[in-house]
Structure 1
Amino acid sequence: MSTESRDRHVDMEDPDTKRLAEMGYSQDLDRSWSGFSNFAISFSIISILAGCLTNFAAAWNNGGPVSISWSWPIISALILVIGLTMSELVSAYPTSGGIYWWAAKLGGPRAGFYTGWLNLIGLIAVTAGVAYGCATFIDFTISAFSSSWAEGYSLTRVFIIFLVVLGIASVLNIFSGHLMAIMNNVSVWWHVAGVLAIVLILLFVPDQHQSINYAFTERVNNSGYSDGSVSSFIFFFAVIPFGFLLTQYTITGYDACAHLSEETKGASMHAAKGIWQSILYSAIGGYILLMAIVFAVPNGADGNPDNSLGAGGVLPIFDAALGANWTGTVLFISAAGQLFCSVACMTSSSRMTYAFSRDRAVPGSHLWSKLSSNRVPANAVLLVAAISVLITLPALVEVNIGTADAPIIVPIAFFAVTSIAVQGLYLSFAIPIYLRWKHGDNFEKGEWNNGAKYKWMNPLAVAEIVIVSLFLMMPSYRGGLPGDELFSWKFVNYAPIVVIGVLIAITIWWEVSAKKWFKGPIRTIDAAEVP
Structure 2
Amino acid sequence: MGYPRKLTRRFRAFDNFAISFTIINIISGIFSAFGFGMGAGGPRILVFGWIGVSVMVLFVGAAMAEIASAYPTSGALYFSAGKLAKRHRGAWSWYTGWLNFVGQVGGTAATNYAAATFIQAYLAMQWPSYEASEQRTVGIAAVILLLQALANTYTVQLVALVNRISVWWLLIGMVVIVSSLVVIPSHHQPASFMTHFVNNTGFSNGMYAAMLGLLVTSWTFTGFDGSFHMSEETVKATVNAPKGIMRAIACSAITGLILMLALVYAIRDYAATASSSAPPVQVLIDALGMGTAKLLLLIVIGAMLFCGLANMTSNTRQIFAFSRDGAMPGSRWWHSVSSRTRTPVKAVWLAAACPMVLIVPGWWSHTAFTAIVSVNVVGLFLAYGVPIFLRLRLDDFEPGPWNLGRYGKPVAGVAVTWIVISSLLFMLPQVSPITAGSFNYAPIALGVVLLIATVWWFATARRRFHGPVSYGSPDEVAAMDLI
Q: Which runs of 5+ in 2 are unaligned?
A: 479-483
Query: Is 1:356 the equivalent of 2:322?
Result: yes
Judging changes above 3 Å, is the alpha-carbon distance between structure 1 residues 176 and 114 closer, same or farther for their aligned structure 2 residues?
same
For 2:358, give the aligned amino acid.
I
- The equivalent residue for 1:133 is 114
Query: Is 1:379 the equivalent of 2:346?
Result: yes
* Superposed displacement of residue 530, structure 1: 5.8
Counterpart secondary structure, 1:444: coil
Q: Using CA pairs below 8 Å that are at least 6 residues apart, which structure has the higher relative contact order?
A: 2
Residue from 213, 217, 224 that aligns with 1:243: 213
Contact kept? 1:413, 1:493, Cα under 8 Å: no
- The equivalent residue for 2:98 is 117
Query: Is 1:85 the equivalent of 2:63?
Result: yes
Residue from 166, 183, 188 that aligns with 1:209: 188
What are the equivalent positions in structure 2 for 1:386-405 lying under 5 Å apart? 386-396=353-363
Residue from 9, 12, 22 that aligns with 1:34: 12
For 2:291, give the aligned amino acid.
N
The aligned length equals 474
- The equivalent residue for 2:280 is 314
Judging changes above 3 Å, is the alpha-carbon distance between structure 1 residues 96 and 517 closer, same or farther for their aligned structure 2 residues?
same
- The equivalent residue for 1:437 is 392
Residue from 141, 165, 176 that aligns with 2:144: 165
The CA deviation string for residues 106-148 of structure 1, in whole angstroms up to 9 with x for no partner, is 1111111111111111111111111111112222223332222
Report the Cα distance in structure 2 between the residues aligned to 1:496 and 1:141, rounded to whole angstroms: 33
* Superposed displacement of residue 456, structure 1: 1.4
* Superposed displacement of residue 336, structure 1: 0.9
Residue from 456, 460, 472 that aligns with 2:410: 456
Contact kept? 1:269, 1:447, Cα under 8 Å: yes
- The equivalent residue for 1:17 is none
Contact kept? 1:33, 1:181, Cα under 8 Å: yes
For 2:245, give the aligned amino acid.
I
* Superposed displacement of residue 455, structure 1: 2.4
For 1:429, give the aligned amino acid.
Y
Judging changes above 3 Å, is the alpha-carbon distance between structure 1 residues 205 and 311 closer, same or farther for their aligned structure 2 residues?
same
Contact kept? 1:261, 1:267, Cα under 8 Å: yes
* Superposed displacement of residue 244, structure 1: 2.2
- The equivalent residue for 2:223 is 253
User: Between the two proteins, what is the percent identity of the paired residues?
Assistant: 38
Judging changes above 3 Å, is the alpha-carbon distance between structure 1 residues 517 and 211 closer, same or farther for their aligned structure 2 residues?
same
Contact kept? 2:80, 2:387, Cα under 8 Å: yes
Contact kept? 1:309, 1:316, Cα under 8 Å: no
For 1:119, give the aligned amino acid.
N
* Superposed displacement of residue 315, structure 1: 1.6
Query: Is 1:493 the equivalent of 2:448?
Result: no
- The equivalent residue for 2:376 is 421
Counterpart secondary structure, 2:238: helix
Contact kept? 2:273, 2:279, Cα under 8 Å: no
Contact kept? 2:372, 2:445, Cα under 8 Å: no
For 2:391, give the aligned amino acid.
R
Q: Which runs of 5+ in 1 are unaligned?
A: 1-22, 227-233, 399-410, 482-486
- The equivalent residue for 2:481 is none
- The equivalent residue for 1:106 is 84
Indicate the larger mover: 518-527 or 53-62.
Answer: 518-527
Query: Is 1:465 the equivalent of 2:424?
Result: no
Rg larger in structure:
1
What TM-score results when the alignment is normalised by the length of structure 2? 0.94
Report the Cα distance in structure 1 between the residues aligned to 2:141 and 2:156, rounded to whole angstroms: 23
* Superposed displacement of residue 68, structure 1: 0.5
What TM-score results when the alignment is normalised by the length of structure 1? 0.86
* Superposed displacement of residue 413, structure 1: 6.0
Contact kept? 1:49, 1:337, Cα under 8 Å: yes
* Superposed displacement of residue 306, structure 1: 4.7
- The equivalent residue for 1:142 is 123
Residue from 250, 272, 280 that aligns with 1:280: 250
Report the Cα distance in structure 2 between the residues aligned to 1:508 and 1:413, rounded to whole angstroms: 24
Indicate the larger mover: 412-421 or 272-281.
Answer: 412-421
Judging changes above 3 Å, is the alpha-carbon distance between structure 1 residues 124 and 376 closer, same or farther for their aligned structure 2 residues?
same
For 2:296, give the aligned amino acid.
V
For 1:435, give the aligned amino acid.
L
